[in-house]
Amino acid sequence: MRADRLVSLVLLLRQRGRMTAGALARELEVSVRTVLRDMDALSAAGVPVYAERGRHGGFALLPDFQTALTGLNHDEALALLVAGSRRGAQLFGLGSALASAMLKVVDALPEDLRDTAADAARRLLVDPETDLLSRRVAVEEVSDAIAAEVRRAVFAGHRLRIHYAAVGQAPRWRTVDPIGLVTVREQGYLLAKRGGEDRTYRLSRVLAAEELDEPAQRPDTVDLDRAWQERNARFRTGGEKVAVLVRVDPAQREHLVGTALAVCAEDADTDGRLRLDVVFQDARHAEWALWQHATRAEVLAPQWLRASLRDRAAAITARYGPPS
């Protein structure tokens, strides 16, 4: 850990110039005393760091101390910076590692690319917290310690004990054979096997985790994308899920899709509207979601949902009709 911190310290000074011990301590999340010790270590190792005293003083590097990463063009450098703005690393407990890695990448860029790529990256916003309707994206928090334990078990091929809080159930311990990690729309999932059966666990519901010494009972190779698609298909068709065939105005498509669990099929209808096969959590969810669209969406099937929406509309008409 100290070696990584020393590298990060050098890169901070390379990119930002003179910095005080207090500013470095806040950036690295350590004490000022630790920063001073690290400066002594850098100096002893031959890194040209020096201190300037006074009101505007601080630590700095000699200007000719630098490294360079060659072979990257502008778009490749920009792609690296944009990739560093995604939240997958945070969900998997790699947030601090990503920040350190991006610092090293930026520092190692050729000087003529460093400023232009960084300026271009500031003009791109990836996955903001709210959309145009001010709806906040649901961001799930996962403890770094838990994520690290899960991640180690996945990569080492070891069994994993997790204290898991399933929906509607008291938390309990489970021993699983981890297969891989997936992030979808700001949510992280652990794909695993338990008792030979496929299981999917949301990382935010893992309350504690412990890597075991036992080897995991899992295939040597895995097509994670295919495994996710298969589990996704089973999820859409299992339990009390409700499949609905609906005809909707194209302008309402995104709103409808945003309230559904999944879209199984989509076609253009003859009148210019779209015909979608969508899946909802249950009957109540389906009725609530379709009611939001009023006459801009029409349920074609199932018949009980058409009747339910018709009865609700009749009740509203009776309530707000002219006085007798």
Alpha-carbon distance 68 to 118, whole Å? Answer: 16
Using alpha carbons only, what angle is made at residue 127 by residues 122 and 130, rounded to the nearest 5 degrees?
110
pLDDT of 161 reads 96
Those residues with Cβ within 8 angstroms of residue 168's Cβ, 6 or more apart along the chain or in another chain: none
Q: Which tokens sit at 167?
A: 């929906």
Backbone phi, psi, residue 151, to 5°: -60, -40
Peptide bond into 302 cis (omega under 30): yes
Please report, in tens digits, the pLDDT of each residue of the chain (324 residues total): 466 677 778 778 877 888 898 888 888 888 888 888 888 888 877 778 888 877 777 888 887 665 544 455 556 666 666 565 555 555 566 666 666 666 666 666 666 666 666 666 566 565 666 665 555 655 667 888 888 899 889 988 999 999 999 877 889 999 999 998 888 766 788 999 998 888 889 888 999 999 999 999 988 888 888 888 888 777 666 667 788 999 999 888 888 888 888 888 888 888 889 999 998 888 888 899 899 888 889 999 999 999 999 999 999 998 888 876
DSSP string, 238-263: STT-EEEEEEE-GGGHHHHHHHSSEE
